[in-house]
Amino acid sequence: MRRLPRLCVAALVLLSAAYAAAGQAKSMSVNVKETQVRASPSFLGKVLGTLAYGDRVQVAEAQKGWAKVNAPAKGLAGWVSESALTAKKVVLSSGAGDADQRASSGEVALAGKGFNSQVEGENRKDASYDYADVDRMEAIVVSPEAIEAFVASGRLAVPGGAR
Amino acid sequence: MKSARLLAVFLAAALLPLPAAAFDFGKALKGAAEKASGLSDSDKQAIQQGAQAVAKSSEDITPEQEYYIGRAVAAKLLGARKPYDAAAATDYVNLLGVTLSLSSERPETFGGYHFLIVDSDEINAFAAPGGDILVTRGLLRCATSEETVAAILAHEISHVARQHGLKAIKQDRLTKAVIGVGSAAAQVLGPDDLADQTATFKDSVGDVTSTLVNSGYSRDQELEADRLALDTLRAAGYSPWALEDMLKVMQKRLKSGGLDFAKTHPDPRVRIAAIEKALKGSAPPAVSPEATAQRQARYEAALGNI
């Protein structure tokens, strides 16, 4: 009988290790050029750092479109929008990031071949495409501060609310 | 004995909620084996065949490929159209659009959302894959307030979120694009492969632009974009009824048989009926008079003379 508590403790330790492993089992990749890791699950949350396309993260929990992640390679932990993550592995066309360089046969990887910057470079030679206007358009950056002020003065909402 | 049974029950109960996918030993072992052995040529062949088998839909297009296709679609559209050169208007549309996108199904895309006003009296808008969105002056002139502009942008953002543009790309091009050409390990395309891939790229871009300009999305895709736009508007703090207000103005201004929006979109009356069904007489959100005044003032300042 006296062994029961000790056995239970041992079982608990084992189980919590199992749960921790289960919590870390969901590995995901960043599927946007760059995404912000935030202190809270909100687009107005404090930015702790940035992850790049192909970076691997461990998802600990998820809520309302946000994932709480750990990115040991970048020394970052915090919240990332789920729209910036994929369960697929990202295979980069160039050697950057900590993504795998090749697809394994067991999973569909997001390979960086096909339509890439090299193909765009070739396509730019075609005068019927106006890339200059597109570059100008994409150069417009809307700052988090501008969004916050816009939302506040118009009494609008941002998912997750204010910081 | 009793304690052993207790322990067994305790363990069984505790193990029950453990997610089934928590320990995929098979996968882990396979991954480890692959890392240890590297890839043989037959493995590579298997990968190619595997890729061919799954490269069936637009969902296999990577976010990076979507980005390059979207840029090219926007570039092609802008090759035949002139941007409206007014910084205040452009900045306002971008601020409003990006704020709305945060309340959409897909707040982040590879290259983000960007908005450009096209200097044209035509009533039209084009959502290129990945988030490059073009809106004509003619369409913005149909709006009378910030929330009616928001309704236009929310509809276009929804096309991007659901990747309607990519779905216009023909099957055989997708297969080539997803698999790529040459060996799996090739990082840089040789001249022949590059020419081949660029040709497929142009064809894919052509599929999307001709859908945007000539044939239009399917009626189902348009109604889906409207439904999502209602959710986005509501979540962002705007009245979803703004979309109906917008369509009522457009219904008056669109010439049937016209060469713009009327050609590529379902009859506004069909869309209005679907919106009324979806909203079922729900009341618009209460907005304080100060907030309404603020919204109207900034709308007038940026787009009052569009």
Give the residue ranges of chain A where pLDDT is below 70.
1-25, 92-113, 162-163
Parallel, antiparallel or unpaired: strands A76-81 and A85-86: unpaired
Nearest to A32 by CA among B108, B71, B163, B97: B108
**Beta carbons of B96 and B89 less than 8 angstroms apart:** no
Distance from CA of B215 to the nearest CA of A (A): 21
A&B contacts, CB < 8 Å? 225
Mean pLDDT comparison of A124-128, B6-10, B46-50, highest-scoring range: A124-128
Judged by a CB distance cut-off of 8 A, whether residue B294 touches chain A is yes
pLDDT at B22: 37
Cβ of B102 within 8 Å of Cβ of A22? The answer is: no
Judged by a CB distance cut-off of 8 A, whether residue B234 touches chain A is no
Q: How far apart are CA A113 and CA A108, in angstroms?
A: 14
**Mutate: best of A26, A113, A130, A135, partner B, most B CBs <10 A:** A113
Strands (E), B87-183: 114-118, 125-128, 132-136
Residue type, A90: V
Cβ of B83 within 8 Å of Cβ of A7? The answer is: no
**Mutate: best of A82, A138, A141, A145, partner B, most B CBs <10 A:** A138
Element (H, E) at B284: none
Q: Round the average pLDDT of chain B to a whole number and report it.
A: 83
For residue B273 the two structure tokens come to: 């009926």
What count of Cα atoms within 13 Å lies in the side-chain half-sphere of residue B104?
30
Contacts of B85 (CB under 8 A, 6+ apart): B119
Cβ of A19 within 8 Å of Cβ of B51? The answer is: no
Q: How far apart are CA A91 and CA A113, in angstroms?
A: 9
On whether ipTM exceeds 0.90, the answer is: no
**Beta carbons of B93 and A156 less than 8 angstroms apart:** no
Is residue B66 predicted with pLDDT exceeding 90?
yes
Q: What percent of chain B has pLDDT over 70?
A: 76
List, for residues B129-178, the tens digit of each pLDDT value: 999 999 999 999 999 999 999 999 999 999 999 999 999 999 888 877 65
> Is the pLDDT higher at B36 or at B222?
B222
List, for residues A23-33, the tens digit of each pLDDT value: 445 899 999 99
DSSP label at residue B126: E
pLDDT at B261: 76
List, for residues B171-212, the tens digit of each pLDDT value: 888 877 655 544 444 567 788 888 988 999 999 999 999 999
Is residue B107 predicted with pLDDT exceeding 90?
yes
Q: What is the mean pLDDT of residues B234-240?
A: 96
Backbone phi and psi for residue A155, each to the nearest 5 degrees, phi listed first? 50, 50
**Mutate: best of B68, B108, B290, partner A, most A CBs <10 A:** B108
Cβ of A103 within 8 Å of Cβ of B184? The answer is: yes
What residues pair up with A109 in beta bridges, in sequence order?
A: A89
Is residue B3 predicted with pLDDT exceeding 60?
no
Q: Residue B116: is it exposed, middle or buried by C-beta count within 10 angstroms (0-12/13-18/19+)? A: buried
DSSP code per residue over A63-87: ETTEEEEEEGGGTEEEEEEGGGEES
